[in-house]
Amino acid sequence: MTPWERKLWYTFLKNHPFRFQRQKAIGNHIVDFYCAKAKLVIELDGGGHYTEEQSKNDVIRTKELEKSGLTVLRICNLDIDRNYRGVCEYIDWAVKKSLPQSALLTAPSSEGAKQ
């Protein structure tokens, strides 16, 4: 795991009220983080993802995952560095948006992001 993946995992996703898995195989892909209940994939993108070739590959990969009914969040490593709390709030929002209302009513409350 990269330093950004470790930070997000150990300080937020590992203890999230909805279970996340790391390095999850989905079809022909291994995603950084996955929440089955929310059908949510989180991919952290470092500098190598912003080359023309890798950007094209990422678009194809995202489309393939979305065809499986998944939502894919692509988050830049710089956002982890510069706006960590905002990234965690965005992930929480995406999880809550994708769940049925009944699941939200019975879910334990989130502690929020640690700095």
Q: pLDDT tens-digit profile of 78-108?
A: 999 999 999 999 999 999 998 876 555 555 5
Cα distances (angstroms) measured from residue 102 to each of 50, 73, 85, 106: 39, 23, 26, 7
Whether 91 is covered by a domain: the verdict is yes
Range of the domain at 60: 3-106
Whether 115 is covered by a domain: the verdict is no
Whether 113 is covered by a domain: the verdict is no
Domain count, the chain: 1
Per-residue model confidence (pLDDT) at position 115: 46
Whether 38 is covered by a domain: the verdict is yes
Per-residue model confidence (pLDDT) at position 100: 72
Residues of the chain with pLDDT under 50: 111, 114-115
Closest CA to 87 of 48, 61, 114: 114
Whether 80 is covered by a domain: the verdict is yes
Cβ pair 35, 103 in contact under 8 A: no
Angle in degrees, CA 108, 110, 115, rounded to 5: 160
Whether 84 is covered by a domain: the verdict is yes
Per-residue model confidence (pLDDT) at position 102: 52
Q: How many CB atoms lie within 10 A of CB 47?
A: 10
The CATH number covering residue 98 comes to 3.40.960.10
Cα distances (angstroms) measured from residue 34 to each of 13, 25, 57, 91, 102: 10, 9, 19, 11, 21
Give the list of residues 6+ apart from residue 5 with CB closer than 8 angstroms, or none: 22, 32, 33, 44
